[in-house]
Amino acid sequence: MTQIAGSSRTALALELWPGKAYPLGATYDGSGTNFALFSEVAEKVELCLFSDDAAGGTVETRVTLPEVDGFVWHGFIPNIEPGQRYGYRVYGPYDPAAGMRCNPNKLLLDPYSKAIDGNFDWNQSLFGYNFGDPDSRNDDDSADSMPKSVVINPFFDWGVDRPPNHEYADTVIYEAHVKGLTQTHPDIPEQIRGTYAAVAHPAIIEHLTSLGVNAIELMPVHHFANDSTLIDKGLSNYWGYNTIGFLAPDAKYSSNPNPGGQVQEFKAMVRALHEANIEVILDVVYNHTAEGNHLGPTLSMRGIDNAAYYRLVDDDKRYYMDYTGTGNSLNAGHPHSLQLIMDSLRYWVTEMHVDGFRFDLASTLAREFYDVDRLSTFFELVQQDPTVSQVKLIAEPWDVGPGGYQVGNFPPQWTEWNGKYRDTVRDFWRGEPATLDEFAYRLTGSADLYEHTARRPVASINFVVAHDGFTLRDLVSYNEKHNEANGEDNNDGESHNRSWNCGVEGPSDDPEVLALRSKQERNFLTTLLLSQGVPMICHGDELGRTQGGNNNGYCQDNEITWIDWASADTELLDFTRMVSRLRAEHPVFRRRRFFSGKPVGRRGQAGLPDIAWFTPEGAEMTGEDWGSGFAKSVGVYLNGHGIPDMDARGQRVIDDSFLLFFNAHHEPIEFTLPPKKFATAWQPVVSSAAPVAPEPGEPHQAGATVSVEARTVLVLRAESNPG
C-alpha cells in the first residue's frame, strides 16, 4: 500500500523481498537495505520511506513488511541506499490499561536507528492522547512533526586504527561535552566548532595530551530529544540525558549536513583521538528514554511494544516504573529490550571503535524487584559478552529507587564514579572536622568499598567535580547555588554542595580571597591527581571555568556552560600539567593493588611499610589520632620500593619514595620529617601554595621540620633511600 503525504503525487516504485530477521534495524549491504523491527504485539508493520519531491514537499511511501519471525518483522528492498529517511507505523492493540499503546497514526523512530535526521516539532500530533484528557485517544498523523531514521553507509576506512587499551591505573579521564569543549576555541574554524570534527582538531588534541589525558569521556552523544518544556522557556537540553536513539550519534554535533553524515564524522573523530593515544568513552543513558511517563509523547518504543521496552507498574499498567526521575525505566528484564542494550554496546565498540562506557544511573539496569542485583541478567550478559566485557565499564552507582546509593556494589569487572571520594575531599579541604580517616581511605583507593568485591584501587573513578554540580572555580567561589537562569526560581539543583566561597560569595576583587581560591583549586587538583585510583578532570576545571554559580547547567546551551577559552587561567593550566606529569612519571601514584601497611623486604634488610601515616610531630598515626575530630593535617609516606606490581615484562616496579603533607588547617603547621630509616633527605617537588614548582634547593634532612602553609599540600621526593 502506498500513501502520499505532502504536495507531491509521485510514489516510489519498489521491489520487496522477504529479507532477514537479523540484524535488527536498517542494514545496507551495497545493493539494498534490509529492515527489521521487533514487536511482539504488532498485527501489521508498515515501513515508511520518505523522499523529497520537485516542489519541496515530502513523499511518504508505505510498505507493509512481508515477513515475521520470532516477533521480528522484516523485508529487503533493493536499491535503497544510504541517506534514505524512514520510520515505522505499527498496527496493534491500543489498551493503555493493559500496557499497550499501538497507534499507526504515529510515525515511529526505529529503536535501532544508526542515524536520525530532523527535529521534533512538539505539538498535539506527537502524543497518543488529547491534551487535558489523558484517557482519550488522539489519531492525528505525526509524520510531518517527527525526525526520521536514516539508512547509513556502514563502510569507513579505519586505516590502521587500534584501541589504545590503557590500563585503568595508567588512565587519566577528561569528562567533556562536545559543544562546551570546542564552541569558543579560537584556533578551531568557526564552521566546525561544537562538533565531533572540532574534538578531533589538533588544538583540542594538543590540549588533552599536554594535560596527560589519555581518555576522553564524552557526555551523551546518543541521539536525544530536546524537551518541549525547555523549548517553551527558551532553553534547551544541553547535557543530553534524554536519549531516543541508542545506536545513533546525535546530528546536533555534526558539521556534515548530509543525513547520516554524522556517523562518518564521529568515526573520523575516534580515529584521530586514537592516533593521539586517547581513548573514547561514552556517557550512555540506557536507563530511560525521551518518551517520559504516561503523559509523554509517542516517538518510538512506546508505540512499537510498550510493555516489552518499559517497566510498567504491576497493578496498573497505564503507568511507568520510574527509578530515574525522568518518567520511565527501560525494561532490562525483557529479552528484546536487553538485546537492544547489548546490541547497542557491541555496535559502538565494533563499528564505532569506542573504548568504554560510563553508564548513567547504572543501578536502574540491574534492578530486579527492588535491590540492585549483582547477578542480574544485565550483568550476566555483560560478563559473558566477548566484546563488551573487554572495554572500560564505568557505573554511576546510584539512582532514585530504593537503596539508591550503591557505591561498591558492582561486579568485579566494573569501576565506579566514587561519589564518596568527591564528598570527602571537598569536606577535607573546607576544614570539616572528623574527616581524616575517611580522607585516608579515599586517598588510597577506597579499599573499604572495593576490596570485598575482588576489585582493585582502580575501581575507584576519583573526581572532585563532574558536569552535574559546581565547576571547580565555582566550588571555591560560592556557598549557595545560583540557578536563576534555569527558570525554576532557583529551586532546581543540589543545595548541599560542600562548597566554600573563601569569604565572599561570587566574584571578588579582594586579592586575599582570590589567592585563597586559587590555592584551593590547586589543592583539589593535586589531591585528585595523586590519589590512588583513576582521576577524572571535568572539562575546563584546569582553565578556571565558571558557570557563575549555576550548579545545574543541564538546560544552558550557551556561554554559561561553554568553556571560555579567551579567559583561560594559564597559571592553573600549567600547574595541572605539572602535577599530572608527576603522576605519569611515578608508578607509586598508580598502584594496581591496595596498600597493606605491612613491611616490605628491601635488599635483605628489615623493610619499611608500603605506606605510613604521620602526625605533624613526625610520629606514626595511632587509632586515637585518626579519631581526633579537630585533626586537619596528616602526612603520608609512599614507599617506592613497596609497589607489588610487575611491569609488562614481569619485572618488579621500583620507584622513588614520596612524602605528602596535607594541611587543611587555616594556619601554617610545622611538620617533622620521618626518621632516617625512611629516607636521609627530602626534596620538595610540588606545593599548592604556589602555581609553580618549588625552586630546587638544599634538600630537607630526615628529622628536620618543614613549614606547610595554611590550606596547602606539599609533596616531597626522597633524595636518597636507605639501604
How many domains would you assign to the chain?
Answer: 2
More confident residue, 712 or 622: 712
Q: Give the pLDDT of residue 573.
A: 98
Asked, for residue 610, whether it belongs to a domain, the answer is yes
Instruction: Write out pLDDT tens, residues 303-332.
Output: 999 999 999 999 999 999 988 788 999 998
136-150, 169-183, 691-705: least confident range: 691-705
> Is 360 assigned a catalytic role?
yes
Maximum C-alpha span of the chain:
92
Place of cell 572495593: 450
- The DSSP symbol for 287 reads S
Q: Note the pLDDT of residue 601.
A: 55
Q: Which three cell numbers stand for residue 654?
A: 621500583
Q: Write out the DSSP string of 380-410.
A: HHHHH-TTGGGSEEEE--B-SSTT-B-TT-S
Beta bridge partners, 68, equal 73
Element (H, E) at 378: helix 377-384
Backbone angles phi, psi at 688, to 5 degrees: -70, -5
Q: What is the DSSP letter of 587?
A: G
What mean pLDDT do residues 1-22 have? 64
pLDDT score recorded for residue 5: 38
pLDDT tens-place string over residues 68-125: 999 999 999 999 999 999 999 999 999 999 999 999 999 999 999 999 999 999 999 9
pLDDT of residue 2: 40
- In sign, the C-alpha dihedral spanning 179, 182, 185, 191 is negative
| pLDDT of res. 179 | 98
Choose one of 151, 166, 181: the last residue of a domain: 151
Identify the pLDDT of residue 602.
Answer: 54
Task: Encode pLDDT of 511-563 as tens digits.
Answer: 999 999 999 999 999 999 999 999 999 999 999 999 999 999 999 999 999 99
Cell 584546569, residue located: 542
Say what the pLDDT of residue 603 is. 45
- Please choose, from the candidates 345, 594, 610, 341, the residue with its C-alpha nearest in 3D space to the C-alpha of residue 445: 594
Separation of alpha carbons 309 and 98, rounded Å: 14
CA-wise closest residue to 344 among 277, 412, 249: 249
Residues 6+ away with beta carbon under 8 Å from 595: 444, 445, 447, 532, 610, 611
Residue partners of 658: CB distance under 8 A and separation at least 6: 586, 588, 589, 637, 638, 640, 715, 716, 717, 718
Residue in the block written with cell 576544614: 431
Question: Does 699 map to a domain?
Answer: yes
Q: What's the average model confidence in pLDDT over 267-296?
A: 97
Pair 88, 40: CB distance under 8 Å: no
Q: Give the pLDDT of residue 597.
A: 85
CATH number, position 98? 2.60.40.10
CA distances from 121 to 142, 143, 279, 353, 673 (A): 9, 10, 36, 33, 67
Residue 565 grid cell: 577559552
Give a yes or no: residue 430 inside a domain. no
Pick the last residue of a domain from 151, 171, 186. Answer: 151
Could you tell me what percent of the chain has a pLDDT over 90?
Answer: 83
State the DSSP code for 133. Answer: B
Looking at the domain assignment, is residue 494 inside a domain? no
Query: What is the overall mean pLDDT for the chain?
Result: 92
Q: Considering 396, 438, 542, 610, which one is annotated as catalytic?
A: 396
CATH number of the domain residue 609 falls in:
2.60.40.1180
> Which residue has 570546542 as its cell numbers?
182
Q: Running DSSP on this structure, what letter comes out for residue 696?
A: P
Question: Crossing angle of helices 301-309/335-350, nearest 10°?
Answer: 110
Let me know if residue 248 belongs to a domain. no
Residue 513 grid cell: 580571597
Report whether pLDDT(605) > 60.
no
Residue 643: pLDDT band (50, 70, 90) is very high
Q: What does DSSP assign to residue 457?
A: G
Across the chain, how many H-helices and E-strands are there?
A: 15, 31
SS3 readout for 247-269:
EEECHHHCCCCCCCHHHHHHHHH
Those residues with Cβ within 8 angstroms of residue 471's Cβ, 6 or more apart along the chain or in another chain: 465, 538, 540, 541, 545, 546, 547
Distance between CA 67 and CA 80 in Å, rounded?
A: 18
* Angle, vertex CA 604, rays to CA 599 and CA 605, nearest 5: 55
Question: Which grid cell is 9?
Answer: 503525487
Residue that finishes a domain, picked among 97, 118, 151: 151
Per the domain annotation, does 366 fall within a domain?
A: no
Pairing type for strands 356-359 and 392-395 reads parallel
Confidence of residue 648 (pLDDT cuts 50, 70, 90): confident
Residue 360 lies in a domain: no
Residue 360, classified by CB atoms within 10 Å of its CB into exposed (0-12), middle (13-18) or buried (19+), is: buried
Q: Is the pLDDT of residue 143 over 90?
A: yes
The pLDDT of residue 721 is 58
Residue 333's pLDDT is what? 83
217 confidence band (pLDDT: 50, 70, 90): very high
Q: What are the pLDDT digits (tens) for 416-468?
A: 999 999 999 999 999 988 788 899 999 999 999 998 888 999 999 999 999 99
Question: What pLDDT score was predicted for residue 402?
Answer: 55
Write out 177-202 in H/E/C secondary structure: CHHHHHCCCCCCCHHHCCCHHHHCCH
Kindly tell me the burial class for residue 453, based on how many C-beta atoms sit within 10 Å of its own C-beta (0-12, 13-18, 19 or more). middle
Which of 343, 360, 416, 438 is the catalytic position? Answer: 360
pLDDT in tens, 328-381: 999 988 999 999 999 999 999 999 999 999 998 777 776 654 444 554 788 888
* Residue 30 is assigned to a structural domain of this protein: yes
> Per DSSP, what are the bridge partners of residue 525?
none
Place of cell 516504485: 13
Domain containing residue 665: 597-719
User: Which residue in 141, 110, 127, 93 sits closest to 33, CA to CA?
Assistant: 110
